[in-house]
Amino acid sequence: MFFTYPIAATTDNWISSTLLNILQNALDALQAGEEPPEFHASVPEIYKSEFLRGRKFLDYYNAFVVACRPLDAQQRDSIIAALVGQNQFPGVFDLNTQAPGIADTLPTVHQAARNLFEYAFGKLSDLKTPGSAETVRARYHQLVHAHIESGCCPFCGLEIMEAPDPDLVDPDLDHYLAASKYPFAGANLRNLTAMGTTCNRSYKGAQDILLDVGNQRVDCMDPYGHEHVSLSLNGTVLLPGGGTGPVWAMTFDPDIRSRNWRRVFNLETRLKSNVLEKQYQTWLKHCISYARQNNIDLSSRNGAIEAVGKFKNTCEYETFPTIARLKTSFFELIEAALADPEAADRVHNFLVKAA
């Protein structure tokens, strides 16, 4: 990811943590041959009034208990392992950490858990942390919006996410680990990310972010971590000949850890088709206009080097951070080519002709 979310946005995670504790206690009671606690009696006093506003919590909890009651101890152990493993953040993003599922082995329990946590996810937009005037989701949105300076989707850096405003629609809140496969993490704010509509609905969907195209476990980037991916156009051939445009190459660092993110969001193709191929000629025109406005003579190589270098320094101020990176890298390539004895004349002539 080009930038990440603030961990502070996950602070109000009490809906998920309360439910997980209640389910764990119910399973422990069944394992001991005892009757599981009644739902509302298990809710901490501080959250009781809010959970009472979620009228279906009781029914979904009871359905989960009914599904677990006839199982043997080994089967219940597998449910506990799934409950814990699916919420092991950030460890679950390591390829050596298991995120066990029960969809195939215990489909009835899986569906019961999914029903409960899908309902809980919906209540993020309704329930309020004690002492807060905003719902959990609204507060999350405010913290994320304040943290992301550009206001862009961190998964692409190309799409503005709506600001917290009663007249606007909140951005999608995506399940990073799909709720259909990892239901116990379905209301965990650590597993939820505000995401641009295009990234979420056109690309991410319900894809399993932990698996590659061959369904093999891979390292996964933590959206609330500190690791950011750098991007450059190193390896791009500016003037391949034959009258064609540049042959684009993109370099991501780290490469291996970012591959699945790039695959899921079809990032290379989107950047190449929507940004580079569409905009590079416009960038050149803007650079030429900049030179004219600043009385820089492009007809000399030194003038071209000066114009490109100064214009390059303005590229970082683009509104969309991914475009800023690509645009800066593009003019770094031109600047380097103008300083290369073997490429300088050709690139300079190209700029003069474009002017």
Q: Please compute, for residue 348, the number of CA atoms within 13 A of its CA located in the half-sphere on the CB side.
A: 18
In a domain, 47, yes or no: yes
Give yes or no: residues 164 and 261 share one domain: no
- Contact by Cβ (8 Å): 286, 276: no
Give yes or no: residues 333 and 197 share one domain: no
In a domain, 58, yes or no: yes
Residue among 198, 206, 204 at smallest CA distance from 171: 198
DSSP string, 178-213: -TTT-GGGTT-GGGEEEE-HIIIIIIITT--TTB-T
In a domain, 218, yes or no: no
* Residue 172 host element (H or E): strand 172-175
The span from the CA of 345 to the CA of 300, in Å, is 10
The span from the CA of 338 to the CA of 121, in Å, is 55
Give yes or no: residues 49 and 194 share one domain: yes
In a domain, 211, yes or no: no
In a domain, 315, yes or no: yes
In a domain, 165, yes or no: yes
The span from the CA of 23 to the CA of 60, in Å, is 11
Give yes or no: residues 180 and 267 share one domain: no
Give yes or no: residues 240 and 127 share one domain: no
- Contact by Cβ (8 Å): 204, 264: yes
Tokens 């445009």 locate to 245
Give yes or no: residues 254 and 199 share one domain: no
Give yes or no: residues 267 and 200 share one domain: no
Mean pLDDT by 10 residues, the chain (355 residues): 94 98 98 96 97 97 98 98 97 92 97 99 97 96 95 94 94 94 98 96 92 92 95 93 87 93 96 96 95 93 94 94 96 95 89 79
Give yes or no: residues 200 and 340 share one domain: no
> Which residues does 247 contact at the CB level (< 8 Å), separation at least 6?
236, 237, 240
In a domain, 300, yes or no: yes
Domain assignment of residue 34, given as a range: 7-204
pLDDT given for residue 244 in this prediction: 80
Model confidence pTM above 0.95: no
pLDDT given for residue 342 in this prediction: 87
Give yes or no: residues 236 and 136 share one domain: no
pLDDT given for residue 156 in this prediction: 95
In a domain, 214, yes or no: no
Give yes or no: residues 166 and 240 share one domain: no
The span from the CA of 193 to the CA of 143, in Å, is 12
Task: Provide the domain count of the chain.
Answer: 2
Give yes or no: residues 134 and 78 share one domain: yes
Give yes or no: residues 192 and 308 share one domain: no
pLDDT given for residue 242 in this prediction: 72
The span from the CA of 287 to the CA of 303, in Å, is 12
Paired tokens of 293: 């406005």
